[in-house]
Amino acid sequence: MKTFLRLTALVKPYFWWMALAALIGFATTGSGIGLLMTSGYIIAKAALQPPMSALQLGIVGVRFFGLARGALRYAERLLSHDATFRILTKLRLWFYDAIEPLAPARLMHFRSGDLLQRVVDDIQSLENIYTRVLVPPLTALFISALMWFLLGSYSIEASLLILFFHLLAGIGVPLLAMRLSRGVSVGIMKQKTVQQLLSLDLFQGIGELQIYGKLPEHLEAMRTAEADKLRLQRKNALIDGLHESLTGLLMNAAVVAILWALIPKLSTPDMNGISLTIVTLAVMASFEPFLPLPASLKHLEADTHAGERLFEILDAKPETIAPAAPLPFPKDPAIRAENLSFSYPGSPVKTLDSLSFETLPGDHIAIVGPSGAGKSTITALLMRFWNTPEGCLTIGGADIGRFDPEELRRNIALVSQRTYLFAQTIRENLLLARPEATDDELKKALAAAGLARFSSKLDEWTGQHGMKLSGGERQRIAIARMVLQNAPVMILDEATANLDGVTEKEVTETLAALGAGKTMITITHRLKAMDQYDAIVVLDKGKIVEQGSHEKLIQGNGLYRRMWELQHTMEPV
């Protein structure tokens, strides 16, 4: 219930839209009842062969209710769908605004397919809160009150009987359907999530599945998931058919009961054969708004489950938040770490252990070490993806936590070892760095990154995840973004790892020229052109084991020298 109340609170701004649509829905159903009643009146009255003038009221009623029913139905659908789409827009914007501060720290424990299911299907299912959960019970309640008042004018017994059968159709049948279908809607949603995960794994890892002979096993898991979903959907369809049959049975029982209550009154002035016909048709039509009620409870279960999955993410506290009074980014971005330690949540091992180093404005430093030494974690802390719980990390003398994360990231250009390209054109992928950039600026950035040949291909589609481009081309697109961003601090996290030797040398020289006058931190395990750096920090198992210039470190007998000799001895002549 708590989750449902939280979800309904999100659509509170659209209360009057929903109330108006519910009122029009009631008028639409009422027009359908009126149409049957006036039609029955004409047929029954005409059987007595009265003068045409005696049928005029019924004829006008049929025309009025017939036209009104169509017009009101259109207005109701227009209003309800407009309100629904507005609600969905609000929900999606609300979710994206809430989830963005959580990335990447709070989302690292979720699989991408599961996140996609929550972002797309779970939010989409919440549209049912309005159209299939909130409105149908209100419409049924209004119709039940209308019929109670209508039949009460003929017989108290008849009004109580229609109220009894409406209660059975509006409460008894939905509760029975909910009991029989408990877990079915949620099970279908879970199977869809499983299918999403399996499908994503198939598309992204089909090569590995084929190499290790696991493709048949994976396909069998997909077939099993589809079979389980179809089984639940068949059960759901059977329950739908059952509650529709029960509602029809109650409608027929109500007609018989009302006839039993009213037939004895045929001899009274208040009741005649025509009135009995009209009332009978009205009773039959009054059960129409009760048909969706069992589905409302099933949608309520599914929507509550979807809401719980969404709130599971959104209730997480962001790892980093903007301070109440953030500092502007300093003009002299000197970076200093002092006794900096960090451990990832759930890990007893320190990824960084008491690190201390410093870069002056305009310095170019390299952070090197074997894989797993903690090099990329330094990047994550500098970009404020994570907080710094132990030690101190400052920029321009101010603690990094005093900067707005967004402002900080606008002033630090990052080329990571994993470049992500959206399934858009080269132009749109570049404009992420600076949306107002002109075509000439885009071409200059491509040329600086060694992709001058792409200058005439700005509108070429890059493919899903940029798969139409090679790994080296994707990396150079990222470098072109960095050129466009023109930030005072540059971080290159294995930026040239996917380039061949000749291109790597060209790009390295270009980056060195572009970084003139800027603070540049290069994270790498490939020791190339190391004499260009003002200082080198050597990491091993989260600790700084050496630091100094290339000349100083190469003369020692530490890890740096061993890495240098190993790499350069293995290089082909």
- Sequence-distant (≥ 6) Cβ neighbours of residue 17 within 8 angstroms: 79, 82, 83, 86
Domain co-membership, 106 together with 187: yes
**Residues 145 and 241 both lie in one domain:** yes
pLDDT in tens, 531-552: 888 899 999 988 999 999 988 8
Q: Do both 31 and 175 map to the same domain?
A: yes
Q: Which of 243-252, 292-301, 452-461 has the lowest mean pLDDT?
A: 292-301
More confident residue, 226 or 571: 226
Q: Given a cut of 60, is residue 78 above it in pLDDT? A: yes
Task: Mark residue 465 as left, alpha or beta (left: phi above 0; alpha: psi -120 to 50; beta: remaining).
Answer: left
* 393 and 252 assigned to the same domain: no
Check pLDDT > 80 for residue 109: no
Phi-psi region of 148 (alpha: psi -120 to 50; beta: other; left: phi over 0): alpha
Mean pLDDT of the chain: 85
Q: What is the mean pLDDT of residues 466-482?
A: 84
Instruction: For residue 424, tell me if it sits in a domain.
Output: no
Q: Which domain holds residue 254?
A: 2-314
Distant-in-sequence, close-in-space partners of 480: CB < 8 Å, separation ≥ 6: 430, 442, 445, 446, 448, 449, 451
State the Cα–Cα distance between residues 528 and 510, nearest whole angstrom: 14
Confidence of residue 570 (pLDDT cuts 50, 70, 90): low
pLDDT score at 530? 85
231 and 349: one domain? no
Q: Is residue 277 domain-shared with residue 364, that is, in the same domain?
A: no
For residue 571, pLDDT beyond 70: no
> Does 249 score more than 90 pLDDT?
yes
Asked if residue 195 and residue 123 are part of one domain, the reply reads yes
Task: Please tell me which of 6-15, 474-483, 491-500 the model is most confident about, judged by mean pLDDT.
Answer: 474-483
Say if pTM beats, i.e. exceeds, 0.75. no
pLDDT band at 40 (very low <50, low <70, confident <90, very high): confident
Average pLDDT over residues 178-203: 84
Higher pLDDT, 417 or 562: 562
Lowest average pLDDT, out of 25-29, 238-242, 506-510, goes to 506-510
Residues 390, 263 share a domain: no
Tally of domains within the chain: 2
pLDDT confidence bin for 251, thresholds 50/70/90: very high
- Return the CATH number at 180: 1.20.1560.10
Q: Is the model more confident about 254 or about 14? A: 254
Residue 66 lies in a domain: yes
486 assigned to some structural domain: no
Q: Say yes or no: 303 and 340 in one domain.
A: no
For residue 428, pLDDT beyond 90? yes
One domain for residues 109 and 242: yes
The CATH number of whichever domain residue 356 belongs to comes to: 3.40.50.300
Residue 518 has pLDDT above 70, yes or no: yes
Q: Based on the domain organization, do 367 and 270 belong to the same domain?
A: no
Model confidence over 6-16: pLDDT tens digits?
777 777 777 78
Q: Indicate the SS3 state at residue 275.
A: helix
Distance CA 394, CA 86 (A): 44
Q: Of 314, 347, 367, which residue sits at a domain end?
A: 314
| pLDDT of 573 higher than 50 | no
Average pLDDT over residues 164-173: 92
